[in-house]
Chain A
Amino acid sequence: MGEVEHQQDNPSQDWQKADARILGQILAAQNVVFALPDTIRIAEFYAQILISIPGITACRVCLAGKSVQAGEMASGVCAGCETLRAFAWEDDTPVSTNSDLRCNLAGQPDMRVIPIDSYQHRFGFFVFKVNQAAMGAEYQPFISNLSNYIALILENRWQKYMLQKAHDELERKVEERTHDLTAANEALSASRLAALDMMKEAVEARQRAEKASADLQREVAEHKRVEQEYRTLIKSVPDLIVRYDLDLRRIYVNPAWEKASGLSAAEVIGVAYTDIPKVPSPVNVHYVKKLRLALETGVSQIAEFTWVNASGVELFLEYAIVPEYDHHGRIAGLLAVGRDITERKRAEEKLKISEERLRMTLEATQIGIWDWDVANDRYYASPIYYTMLGYEPKEGPADRDEWVQRVHPDDKEAVLEQVDKVLSRTCNEYSYEARFRHADGSYRWQWALGYGAHYDKNENLTRMLGLRIDIDKRKRMEDELAAYREHLEELVRERTAELEEARNKARQYLDIAGVILVAIDTHRRVTLINQKGCEVLQSSSAEIIGKDWFETFVPANVRQDVIQGFGRLMAGELEPVEYMENPVLTRGGQERLVAWHNVLLRDGEGQITGTLSSGEDITERRRAEKQIINLNQDLQKRADALEAANKELDAFAYSVSHDLRAPLRHIDGFLELLQKKAGTALDERSRHYMDTISEAAQKMGLLIDDLLSFSRMGRQAMSLRQVELGNLVREVIRELEPDAAGRDVVWRIGDLPAVDGDASMLRIVLGNLIANALKFTRLRQQAQIEIGSLPGQPSEAVIFVRDNGVGFEMAYADKLFGVFQRLHRADEFEGTGIGLASVRRIIARHGGRTWAQGELDQGAAFFFSLPQISHGDGDEKDKAHPVG
């Protein structure tokens, strides 16, 4: 866009000079609003723009409670603005849905207040002060337009912001929930594995313990039998054997005992049980108690206790204590057979801890476990298994049918299929998620795991183990999350639709703007084009966006200049030329002339990012202007020619009036002189000749005069005013009275309108027509002359003059109005044949028509029409006023 024309604006004092150009520039410049970062900048921009409009002496732009003022005006804080400030949103775009907010300055004389409203919100006000009250109304529509535009943009920004905010909120929530869920899932799966491990371990430990216990019992029984039978062999048995006397002194220990205790028989035989110096705690209290009990009651006792031996090793011992009887049957002492059960005890201890740990884990994780003895259909379930479903432990279901019934009908098939897989040994374990009926009747989601724990030698399943975990909360959370996600997505869709709508509206605005709008970036590519632009360039916007504007749409002959200018503009070396006219190239290869208004676009840091231009296709206008100039020149030529012709005619008329009349005068003069000199000498006939010559000269003089006045009629300037035809008719009749003297004339004067015309010319028209009527009725005993108007169209008045005179043949009706045309011989009716020609010429000059009706000897009627210029009611009344 090279430099073609640079127009300087001179802000005129006179508001009436504020032409469409200034307003158009403002309209073009306001697209800058797109590039303005916040409301205060927008307000400043519009304040500057408004104050530049001639006649606006001051203005204030209130946006979001921010107020920018240019020029002097009444100060003071407005209640409306205060409220807006209260509504101000995020220190950016103000939002008030209250369209009742008023500006305090409204209603003051010279002040105009225009609210900035979108379809939803009130963003603020334009307030401007004018130096003449009428200008307010003049500018109101234009400024309303600006305000609509800003409102649209702010609305758009607001929608964008809200959408972004909703987006962010959603993102945050989704992340939070996802995090919760992930954590819950991790915890759950960790505890599941731990629980499973522990459970297996516990089961194995229990099995080991049970086995150990059974073995022990068997061995004790066996031992007793062997002791009885092989008393003498006791030395060789692995059991610890001690015999006590009644004072609980050891009287025998076997080698096994010696080995286990780390003491020799010599060191302990006969020694009080309390007195074994090598051992820190010689005997266990619990054990002694059992010994004494056995002595006192004679009942065998079992004692379990720990004892630290001479080597410092802690042993877990289990003794069976039996009284020994003498041959009198009295208790003589005690036999204690012991066994080192340290190994067994440790296993039991471990099991206990393991079970405890399991229990705690199960409770903590709310895992219910079950154990199904398939062979006997006995069903064990842990307390949590029951409480999870709202029952007291062991109160609720305890067999397979019961739990199967509790499965939600929709899940039952899938659950049984899973269980059957294990039963049928298709696989060893299963897991599923299903809903189970709670004691309160509702269904709760549970996760279940089960596996085949034991099979018999025929590979039939005999035992199943499993667990249940309440996942209802998680499930519900998942459902909620899914619903929430759906809701969010819906919200996003809605916002997107709203944004799209706002975009469409902005787009629509661009499209209905009757000018081309095009934005070009620093790489000379088109970034925006509106519909009008597409129309002018005969291309779709998809074909235009992204194209190099200059290579594609600027004609080759100016391209280099324009590109150079644009380059300097982008480099900041050149101020933008506000207005220029440059051609564009359409797809069809046509050139269109466009008047451009340009503004630079800048980013937030003030860097130039491109240009925004509005352009008006002025090709047709230029062509029309050119045509008008041509026409004007043509017209001027014709006017000149006409002028010349008129001048010639004037000269001709002058010659005629001067030169034609002179010979007549001479004829008459010399004839007179001749008469004087020779009058008496001439005979009658000669005098007649001389009279005839004189009459002819007179007639010639009349003809010349009429012809001159007829010629003048065509040239004379008309002065149009309202003429009362009735008055004119009466004046003419009065003037003709001498001609009618002595005759019987009946005048009929009808209603005559007031018309627009030249009074003196119309007087000639009526004079000629009425004089004719009078003349051609001369032979009638009673002349009847009627003057009136025909009812007709409102657009013209039709006047007629009718007589009962000699009339004429209609065949010659048109001849009547020709110059020097006569239908009667001069000796019948005198006349020059100019009168009706004058009538026609005058009426024609008024834009009317003339015509005649008649019949030989039956009278004649002459009509003329005059176009009526509408004068409104008052004049209608005048027209209807009776005249005669």
Chain B
Amino acid sequence: MKKIKRILLVEDDPKDIELTLAALAEHNLANEVVVARDGAEALDYLHRRGSFAQRPPGNPVVIMLDLKMPRLDGVQALRQIKADEQLRLIPVVVLTSSRESLDLEACYRLGVNAYVVKPVRFIEFVEAVKQIGVFWVLVNQAPAGCA
């Protein structure tokens, strides 16, 4: 059986979730996506707790992380992920509207693997999401423990 490679999409805006899933769907990647609505939920998922306590084990092959979110925001979530021995090897791609250099610098300092600004044009957005999905899910060899 083909091993399912999961993508963790951390995004609070339902419209963005829909558009991202649409973009991923164009490349048949949508059914492997798990959505967390903020950083706290993402960490619950990664640590298999709360509403995700029952999920099967294994880390996602890539985390697509929005920055501006309620509760635990993207930068805080990233800090916790990269500080956790179990999670720090998971590739994290920040997918955000912010072009602010402060955000950019903060993320790279915390060890983000890629930083992508969401293009306004949907065509470009689809292209960007596709490239992320294809690269991290299909091309990139994920570290051990990522499924």
Q: For the complex, is B140 an interface residue (Cβ under 8 Å from A)?
A: no
User: Is the CB–CB distance between A671 and B122 below 8 Å?
Assistant: yes
How far does the alpha carbon of A816 sit from the alpha carbon of B12 in the complex, in Å? 41
A698 near B123 (CB under 8 angstroms)? Answer: no
Quick one: given A653-B100, A672-B122, A698-B121, are A659 and B22 in contact (CB under 8 Å)? no
- Residue with the highest number of chain A CB atoms closer than 10 Å, among B13, B97, B99, B119: B97
A670 to B98, CA, bound (A): 21
Q: Are B19's CB and A657's CB within 8 A?
A: no
> Are B120 and A701 neighbours in the complex by a CB distance under 8 Å?
yes
Task: Report the minimum CB–CB distance from A709 to chain B (whole Å).
Answer: 9
Q: Chain B residues with Cβ under 8 A from A698's Cβ?
A: 120-121
Given contacts A653-B100, A658-B96, A698-B121, contact A665 B68 (CB under 8 A): no
Interface membership of A654, Cβ < 8 A = yes
**CB contact list, B88-120 vs A, under 8 A:** 96-100, 102-103, 118-120
Q: Does A409 contact B (CB under 8 A)?
A: no
B23 to chain A, nearest CB (A): 8
| B1-44 interface code vs A (CB 8 A; 1 in, 0 out) | 00000000000010110010010000000000000000000000
State which of A659, A672, A708 has its C-beta within 8 Å of the C-beta of B123: A672
- Report the Cα distance A673→B122, complex, angstroms: 9
Q: What 0/1 pattern do residues 43 to 64 of B give for CB contact below 8 A with A?
A: 0000000000000000000000
User: B125 in the interface, Cβ–Cβ < 8 Å?
Assistant: yes
A257 to B96, alpha carbons, bound, how many Å?
A: 187
| Chain B residues within an 8 Å CB radius of A670 | 15, 19, 122
Q: Residues of A contacting B19 with CB < 8 Å? A: 665-666, 669-670, 673
The reply on B67 being an interface residue by CB < 8 A is yes
What CA separation (Å) do A708 and B102 show in the bound complex? 14
B98 partner residues in chain A, CB cutoff 8 A: 654, 657-658
B100 / chain A contacts, CB cutoff of 8 Å: 653-654, 657
Q: Which residues of B contact A650 (CB under 8 A)?
A: 102
A616 within 8 A of B: no
Nearest Cβ on chain B to A748's Cβ, whole angstroms:
37
CA distance A662 to B66 in the complex (A): 12
Tell me if B125 and A669 are in contact (CB < 8 A): yes
Question: How far is it, in angstroms, between the C-alpha of A708 and the C-alpha of B103 when the chains are bound?
Answer: 15
Task: Flag whether A697 is at the interface (Cβ < 8 A).
Answer: yes
Q: B122 contacts which of A653, A657, A668, A708 (Cβ < 8 Å)? A: A668
Taking CB as reference atom, which chain A residue is nearest B22? Answer: A673
Pick the contact of B15 from A653, A661, A666 — CB < 8 Å? A666
> From B119, which residue of chain A is reached at the shortest CB distance?
A665
User: How distant is A306 from chain B, measured CB to nearest CB, in Å?
Assistant: 160
**Are B96 and A665 neighbours in the complex by a CB distance under 8 Å?**
no
Task: Indicate whether A664 reaches chain B with its CB closer than 8 angstroms.
Answer: yes
Is there an interface contact between B97 and A658, defined as CB atoms closer than 8 Å? yes
> Are A665 and B22 touching (Cβ within 8 A)?
no
Size category, A interface: 20 to 34
In the complex, chain B residues whose CB is within 8 Å of the CB of A661:
97, 118, 120
B68 touches A658 (CB 8 A): yes
For residue B123, which residues in chain A have a CB less than 8 angstroms away from its CB? 672
A664 and B120 within 8 A (CB): yes
With CB as the reference atom, state the residue of chain B lying closest to A709: B99
For residue B17, give the distance in angstroms from its CB to the closest CB of chain A: 11
Tell me the bound Cα distance from A661 to B123 in angstroms. 15
A91 to chain B, nearest CB (A): 82
Q: How far is the CB of B21 from chain A (nearest CB, A)?
A: 11
Contact partner of A665 (CB less than 8 A), chosen from B99, B103, B125, is B125
Chain B residues lying within 8 Å of A665, measured Cβ to Cβ, are 16, 19, 97, 118-120, 122, 125
Residues of B113-147 contacting chain A, CB below 8 A: 118-123, 125-126
The residues of B that contact A658 with a CB separation of less than 8 Å are 67-68, 96-98
- Contact A669 B122, beta carbon cutoff 8 Å: yes
Bound-state Cα–Cα, A657 to B96, Å: 10
Q: Mark A459-477, 1 if CB is under 8 A from B, else 0.
A: 0000000000000000000
B118's nearest neighbour on chain A, judged by CB, is A665
* Residues A633-670 near B (CB distance < 8 A): 650, 653-654, 657-659, 661-662, 664-666, 668-670
Q: Is the CB of B121 within 8 A of A657?
A: no
A662-B13, A673-B22 are contacts. A668–B99 as well, Cβ < 8 Å? Answer: no
Shortest Cβ distance from A360 into chain B, in angstroms? 135
Which residues of A have CB within 8 Å of B96?
658
What separation, in Å, do the CA atoms of A668 and B67 have in the docked complex? 21
Write the nearest CB–CB distance from B20 to chain A, whole angstroms: 9
For residue A657, which residue of chain B has the nearest CB? B98
Residues of B within 8 A of A662 (CB): 13, 15-16, 97, 118
Of residues 118 to 166 in A, which have CB atoms within 8 Å of B's CB atoms? none
Q: How far is it, in angstroms, between the C-alpha of A708 and the C-alpha of B15 when the chains are bound?
A: 24
Which of the listed residues A669, A670, A673 has the most CB atoms from chain B within 10 Å of its own CB?
A669
**Which of B16, B67, B99 neighbours the largest number of chain A CB atoms within 10 Å of its CB?**
B99
**A671 vs B19: C-alpha distance when bound (angstroms):** 11
Q: Do A708 and B99 form a contact, CB below 8 Å, given A666-B15, A666-B19, A673-B22?
A: yes
Bound complex: CA A94 to CA B93 (Å): 92
Q: A654-B98, A698-B121 are in contact. Are A666 and B67 (CB under 8 A)?
A: no
Please provide the chain B residues from 59 to 77 with a CB less than 8 Å away from any CB of chain A in the complex.
67-68
Write the nearest CB–CB distance from A707 to chain B, whole angstroms: 12
A657 to B120, Cβ gap below 8 A? Answer: no
Q: Which residues of A contact B97 (CB under 8 A)?
A: 657-659, 661-662, 665
Per the bound structure, the CA–CA distance linking A858 and B121 in Å amounts to: 39
Q: Are A668 and B15 in contact (CB under 8 A)?
A: no
A657 with B99: CB separation less than 8 A: yes
A residues near B120, Cβ cutoff 8 Å: 661, 664-665, 668, 697-698, 701
> How far is it, in angstroms, between the C-alpha of A661 and the C-alpha of B118 when the chains are bound?
9
Complex alpha-carbon distance, A46 and B123, angstroms:
90
Question: What separation, in Å, do the CA atoms of A668 and B119 have in the docked complex?
Answer: 10
Residues of B contacting A666 with CB < 8 Å? 15-16, 19
A657-B97 Cα distance, complex, nearest whole Å: 7
Residues of A within 8 A of B119 (CB): 665
Task: Write the chain A residue with the least CB distance to B124.
Answer: A668
Assembled-state Cα–Cα distance A293/B22 (Å): 203
- Residues of the B chain whose Cβ atoms lie less than 8 Å from the Cβ of A705: 99
Residue of B whose beta carbon sits closest to that of A671: B122
Q: Which residue of A lies closest to B120 (CB)?
A: A701
Contact A668 B121 (CB under 8 A): yes
Enumerate chain B residues within 8 angstroms of A669, measured Cβ to Cβ. Answer: 15, 19, 22, 122, 125
Residues from chain A with a CB closer than 8 A to the CB of B68 are: 654, 658-659
CB distance from A29 to the nearest CB of B (A): 59
Determine the distance from Cα of A650 to Cα of B120 in the docked complex, in whole angstroms.
22
A664 to B119, CA, bound (A): 10
Q: How far is the CB of A494 from chain B (nearest CB, A)?
A: 87
A227 to chain B, nearest CB (A): 178
Instruction: Chain A residues near B99: list those with CB within 8 A.
Output: 657, 705, 708
Distance, CA A662 to CA B121, complexed state (A): 11
Contacts of B103 in A (CB 8 A): 654
Closest approach, in angstroms, between the C-beta of A734 and any C-beta of chain B?
A: 26
User: With A and B bound together, what is the CA distance between A668 and B22 in angstroms?
Assistant: 13
Contacts of B15 in A (CB 8 A): 662, 666, 669-670
| Interface bits A665-703 vs B (CB < 8 Å: 1, else 0) | 110111111000000000000000000000001100100
In the assembled complex, the Cα of A701 lies from the Cα of B120 at a distance in Å of 7
CB distance from A347 to the nearest CB of B (A): 152
User: In the complex, what's the smallest C-beta–C-beta distance from A813 to chain B, in angstroms?
Assistant: 33
Point out the residues of chain B lying under 8 angstroms from A701, CB to CB: 120
How far apart sit A665 and B15, CA to CA, in the bound complex (Å)? 10
Complex-state Cα separation, A701 to B117, whole angstroms: 13
Q: Which 5 A-B pairs have the closest CB atoms?
A: A672-B122, A669-B122, A701-B120, A669-B19, A658-B97
Other 8 A-B pairs with CB < 8 A, given A658-B96, A668-B120, A669-B19: A650-B102, A662-B97, A664-B120, A665-B125, A666-B16, A666-B19, A670-B122, A672-B122
**Can you give 18 A-B contacts (C-beta < 8 A)?**
A653-B100, A657-B97, A657-B98, A658-B67, A658-B97, A661-B118, A662-B13, A665-B19, A665-B118, A666-B16, A666-B19, A669-B15, A670-B15, A672-B123, A672-B126, A673-B19, A673-B122, A701-B120
